[in-house]
Structure 1
């Protein structure tokens, strides 16, 4: 692994360590090369509906947004975190009381704006819980 990728990974981890909401969620990332899998470990405080033991939609949405921002930061050459311009989240299934995983891909990156797509799943990646489509402003 190149020194540049390792430096970006270290910088990304530093961002996550100093982001209060990422810490509150317990977000962590596993990085292999330029591919990152974000993990949201299950915690009872993330339950939104206690009757059916479903994860809160806000926690799922925030997790997807942080995943997209982290992937964009990891792959781009920007020195500051990208800022969301707009995002759309589609909730497809109930998030059960278990760990949630996500991956994001940068679909287009210009000098100032980037488009990112992310999806979150639990036991089967082929059955996503939610997807995100977002545009971010890049800060150089």
Structure 2
């Protein structure tokens, strides 16, 4: 399977949080972020912004992977992102994966889930709408 560079490098923000490609699952990138002081909010818990950043990064990663698979080039621009915080992220590694719910010519709709120990018990979810603009080369 391709590595993260094939679907575009992680943003400086994502790298600063420690977000990395954990694995691939049926062509979908699974991202992870270890717990440390960079992502800590209240003691021993993830900051909501770090969780949101993981969700957003996973959403863009799945979209970039699919566009690469289709050999489509696009500049991705956020339309909106809505995050639902379901449970506190505790002091251990968090994971996230996205799913494309609609991929059009100019926009995409995505859902993303973040979890820790049990994927069936997400700590947060997000819905994203992304504009896919023509690349300016």
TM value normalised by structure 2:
0.86
Runs of at least 5 residues in structure 1 that lack an aligned partner in the other structure: none
Query: Match of 1:71?
Result: 62
Cα deviation for residue 80 of structure 1 reads 4.2
- Give the whole-Å Cα distance in 1 for the aligned partners of 2:81 and 2:55: 10
TM value normalised by structure 1:
0.85
Where is the helix percentage greater, Structure 1 or Structure 2? 1
Could you list the runs of 4 or more consecutive aligned residues of structure 1 that deviate by over 4 angstroms after TM superposition? Answer: none
* Equivalent pairs, count: 130
> Root-mean-square deviation (CA), in Å?
1.7
- Give the whole-Å Cα distance in 1 for the aligned partners of 2:4 and 2:40: 30
Runs of at least 5 residues in structure 2 that lack an aligned partner in the other structure: none
**1:36-66: CA deviations, max 9, x gaps?**
111111112211012xx21000000011001
CA gap of 1:81–1:32, structure 2 versus 1, over 3 A, is: farther
Cα deviation for residue 139 of structure 1 reads 2.5
In the alignment, structure 1 residue 10 sits paired with structure 2 residue 2:
no
